[in-house]
Structure formats: structure tokens, C-alpha cells
Amino acid sequence: MSMFNGKSVLVTGGTGSFGKYFIKSLLKKYKPKKVIIFSRDEFKQHQLGENPLFGKNCRFFIGDIRDLPRLKQAFSGVDIVIHAAALKQVTTLEYNPFEAIKTNIIGSQNVVEAAINQKVKKVLLISTDKAVHPINLYGATKLCAEKLFIASNSYSPNKTAFAVVRYGNIIGSRGSVVESLSDKNLKPLITDINMTRFWIDLKQAGSLVEFAIENMEGGEIFVPKIPSIKIADLFDALRQGETKEIIGIRPGEKIHEELISLEEARHTIELKNYYIILPEFNFWSGKNLFNKYKKMGKRVKYGFTYGSNTNSDWLLKKDLEKST
């Protein structure tokens, strides 16, 4: 795959856990013309700038996705945008709703407008399983961001293509459940004994983004096939010998998550390693650009859903103990 070679690539939220991993992988595997790290955190940008890997091909832009003029400046001459910037802490956003909307919804709209204005070729949103049947504000804002991205293909046919990747918790990311449970200075707490989550690592997330950028036509949602974990099993692997305290579900939490809803399954294609949710609207004046996906895979069966509790792929307690 050479889709990044000779291209100018910008990552919003480029100093976050995924952004840093993806940019490092990009620089090691490809030969981009330029990589722009766009974020609000000047100290983290400084730290990355001291790494020899982030050499002459990298540019560091301090900015906020709430600032449309700054995004237009940053997107000038850019071919590919990975939009990873977001506010993500579920409980925090329940108490700071306006800030969530400003960043996750209005900020995503700004990314769309700047990309169309600067004629960016491909723009990919990093989304979450919490956008499916959301019960918390974070999930609702990411659902809105997904809808904005998919619908924006109507405003730029054959010019700027917009698509989405959607996955579960990244293990090892800042603020993840693994980070919390691994901290022996914190009390051994879990919220519900039955809770399950989708598990994905940074390498899998990066591969998903590469696959999406290579194949996207505009309007797709790319979903990886990934295992589920029981949070109680994860606790036992990370805090061996300790007694867990069940404190009850926090505001905005689900017991289980979904990556594909029953309604979305009606227009979902299954591939070997991924599911692709096709758009319900035709953005291309009668052209069917998705025949390739139907050739690559098959439609899922009627009644299919993809939930963390109904998943057929599980990481068991013994697997978690080996990996930790």
C-alpha cells in the first residue's frame, strides 16, 4: 500500500495516543511528502519534535478544531486528513455538555468545511462504538460527527471524500480502563460485574485507518473484527489477588457496547477482517461505487448485530494474564 507516499497528511489530535502511534507508523512505513501534527498541546508537540523520527517531513501546528480559520490555514495543500481530535471522557462530558458539543460536533463540522474549502482529497473520522445507540453525551456527539461526515459527501462530489472508522476501547491509550486498573495506587474498583467491552490495540487501529484510506470512496463506515473482554476478567488479570469492589454504573455508562446496530446491518458488507457499513444515500448521481465491496465480501445475514456481549471472539482470563 503506497497511498501515503508523496502525500501531505494532517492528523488532528496528533499528540494523542492514537495520533502519535499512527504518525510514527506512517513515517516508518511510507514516504509522505509532509506530515502535519495539529493539536492544542504545545508541550506534547515539543516532546515529539525532540524525537529524531519527527524530522524534516513533519510540521507542528498549534490550533483547535473549534477555530475554522486556523483549520483552513492548516489544511492548505493537504491531501489526506485523519480527524482524531475529540473530547472523550464519558463522565466528564456528562457534566460539561457544551464543551463536548463545541469540540466533537462543531469542531467536526469545521473540519468538513475546511477540507472542502481547501480541496482535501480524503478525510477520515475516528469514531467509537459509543456512537451506536448512544446513551451518553459523548456517544451522541460522535454519532452527530459521523452523520456530518457521511452527509458531507453531498457537498463535494468527486472532490473531497469523507468516511468513518468506528472501533472500541484502545487498550493502552491515555485514560483507558487498562491504565486505570493497572495503577496500584487506585482502589480496586469496577462498576458492574457483567460489563463487557470491545478490545483493540493501537496497531489494529492503525491498520484499520490504512485500509480505510486506501479503499474509501466516500460515505462508508469501516468497522474492525475485534475481540470482546469481560471487565471482571480484565480486573483479575491486572490486579491478581485483590478483591474487587463493585460500585455501580457511572453516569452515561453502558453495560455492553455495539459496533453495528440491527438497522445498519441492512446495508453492511462483511470482509475477512472488517465490516463496511455502506451509506443509505447515493451521493454520486446514480453511480454505484460499492460494487467492489460486494465482490470483496458478502452481505451480513438478516438480524445481524455486532455487540460486545454477543461477539463470537473473546479474550479469556488466561489470554489476558499472558498479555499483561
Residues with catalytic function:
130
How far apart CA 39 and CA 11 sit, in angstroms, is 8
209 close to 25: Cβ distance less than 8 angstroms: no
| Residue 30 grid coordinates | 511510507
Q: Which amino acid is at 245?
A: E
Closest CA to 22 of 46, 48, 41: 48
Scanning the structure block, which residue is given the C-alpha cell 475481540?
Answer: 227
Closest CA to 93 of 135, 45, 56, 31: 135
Question: How many whole angstroms from its chain centre is CA 6?
Answer: 24
| Residue 207 grid coordinates | 491498520
Residue 77 is given by DSSP the state T
Contacts for 287 with CB less than 8 Å, ≥ 6 apart: none
| Residue 112 grid coordinates | 468538513
